[in-house]
């Protein structure tokens, strides 16, 4: 028998009050969270708790529906290599969310499982149910109301949720809401189109790619990129800055056009050149709460 479950995370502000949830049906689901965390952490915790809550069902496979490519790639591609390197990335830097990754590594040991990516907020019944519960947990932490934790797995020996300390979780630890205050806003003297070119250049600089916090500032919460290596979301782009990143360092750009598509939206088209070749790129930037952030990018390699 295969257990089919959706796992999801939510963070109000990212980082901010955070929640996680997994969902099989109305009798089998669980949720939790922290006063301060990220979407990444919520997504990881949902999967960890799902494995822990079904640990007594060793003979049954897990099929996990997940809208986070970061989580899927972490389990299926990146984590074995990080573990061999002492939980460090290719550049020698420690991986993010280390405590959660160690819990996840222990939880999946000896289990049979598969992951399936599903598009979030697209009407998928199980994904929507998990998302709703993760957001409800995050909202409860925000409002300081009781956390809707759910029934868990009814016949489990004990409630299996792992209560990791928020300070141990990682990606934005020690960084408050002022993280988002350093993105310049356009002025009467400087058009938004010029600012967008500078921000795009900054995003492609090696120093920026080495700073996950800054990349997180520049990328919209719903960022997506379509390129030769596939579809990337924000979490995957941030986590994979060890060489597999959706945003690549050491790139020169030739601006082909900047078009204002509205007061808060700018489309930038350009040719990028790096050691790996050239590509035509389209980047859509949106202003959110006064800050310009990259919402979407598409790459078309040349030659």
When the pLDDT of each residue in the chain is averaged and rounded to a whole number, the result is: 81
pTM of the model: 0.59
State the pLDDT at residue 116.
95
Say if residues 101 and 82 touch (Cβ distance below 8 Å). yes
Could you give the CA distance from residue 34 to residue 37 in angstroms, rounded to a whole number? 6
pLDDT at 241 over 70: no
Angle between helices 39-53 and 125-143 (to 10 degrees): 110
Which of the pair, 163 or 155, is modelled with greater confidence?
A: 155
State the pLDDT at residue 190.
57
Q: Which residues are catalytic?
A: 8-9, 43, 67, 121, 131
Sign of CA dihedral 98, 24, 70, 62: positive
State the pLDDT at residue 230.
79
From residue 72, how far is each of 15, 23, 92, 129, 297 by CA, in Å? 21, 17, 22, 19, 21
pLDDT tens string 18-54: 999 999 999 999 999 988 888 889 999 999 999 999 9
State the pLDDT at residue 211.
66
Q: Which of 119, 130, 134, 291 is nearest to 216 (CA)?
A: 291
Q: What is the mean pLDDT of residues 255-281?
A: 89
Q: What is the mean pLDDT of residues 54-80?
A: 91
State the pLDDT at residue 252.
77
* Distant-in-sequence, close-in-space partners of 136: CB < 8 Å, separation ≥ 6: 19, 21, 31, 148
State the pLDDT at residue 172.
36
pLDDT tens string 100-121: 999 999 999 999 999 999 988 7
State the pLDDT at residue 240.
66
Which of the pair, 90 or 2, is modelled with greater confidence?
A: 2
pLDDT at 165 over 70: no
- If one counts every other C-beta atom within 10 angstroms of the C-beta of residue 25, the result is 10
Which of the pair, 289 or 33, is modelled with greater confidence?
A: 33
Q: What is the mean pLDDT of residues 242-259?
A: 66
Q: Work out the pLDDT band at 296, boundaries 50, 70, 90.
A: very high
Q: Work out the pLDDT band at 265, boundaries 50, 70, 90.
A: very high
Which domains does the chain show, CATH number per domain?
Answer: 2-168 (3.30.420.10), 177-301 (3.10.450.50)
pLDDT at 189 over 90: no
State the pLDDT at residue 250.
55
Angle between helices 98-108 and 39-53 (to 10 degrees): 30
pLDDT at 169 over 70: no
State the pLDDT at residue 183.
37
State the pLDDT at residue 257.
93
pLDDT tens string 80-100: 999 999 998 877 888 888 889
pLDDT tens string 110-159: 999 999 999 887 888 999 999 999 999 999 988 889 999 999 998 876 54
pLDDT at 9 over 50: yes
What is the Cβ-side half-sphere exposure of residue 194, based on CA atoms within 13 angstroms? 6
* Distant-in-sequence, close-in-space partners of 225: CB < 8 Å, separation ≥ 6: 231, 232, 237, 246, 247, 296, 297, 298, 299
| Cis ω for the linkage preceding 15 (within 30 of 0) | yes
């Amino acid at each position: 028998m295969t257990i089919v479950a959706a796992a999801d995370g939510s963070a109000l502000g990212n980082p901010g009050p955070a929640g996680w949830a997994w969902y099989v049906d109305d009798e089998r689901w669980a949720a939790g969270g922290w006063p301060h965390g990220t979407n990444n952490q919520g997504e990881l915790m949902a999967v960890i708790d799902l494995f822990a809550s079904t640990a007594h069902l060793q003979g049954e496979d897990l099929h996990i529906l997940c809208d986070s490519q970061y989580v899927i790639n972490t389990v299926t591609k990146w984590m074995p290599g990080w573990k061999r390197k002492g939980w460090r990335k290719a550049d020698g830097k420690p991986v993010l969310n280390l405590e959660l990754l160690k819990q996840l590594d222990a939880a999946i040991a000896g289990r049979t499982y598969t992951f399936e990516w599903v598009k979030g907020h697209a009407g998928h019944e199980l994904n929507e149910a998990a998302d709703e519960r993760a957001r409800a947990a995050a909202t409860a932490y925000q409002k300081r109301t009781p956390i809707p934790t759910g029934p868990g797995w009814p016949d489990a020996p004990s409630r299996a949720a792992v209560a990791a300390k928020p300070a141990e979780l990682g990606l934005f630890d020690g960084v408050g809401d002022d993280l988002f205050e350093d993105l310049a806003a356009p002025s009467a003297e400087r058009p938004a189109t010029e600012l967008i070119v500078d921000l795009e250049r900054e995003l492609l600089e090696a120093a920026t790619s080495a700073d996950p916090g800054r990349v997180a500032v520049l990328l919209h919460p719903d960022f997506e990129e379509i390129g030769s290596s596939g579809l990337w979301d924000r979490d995957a782009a941030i986590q994979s800055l060890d060489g597999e990143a959706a945003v690549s360092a050491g790139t020169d750009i030739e601006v082909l056009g900047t078009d204002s598509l509205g007061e808060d939206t700018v489309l930038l088209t350009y040719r990028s050149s790096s050691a790996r070749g050239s590509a035509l790129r389209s980047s859509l930037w949106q202003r959110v709460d006064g800050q310009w952030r990259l919402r979407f990018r598409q790459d078309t390699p040349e030659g």
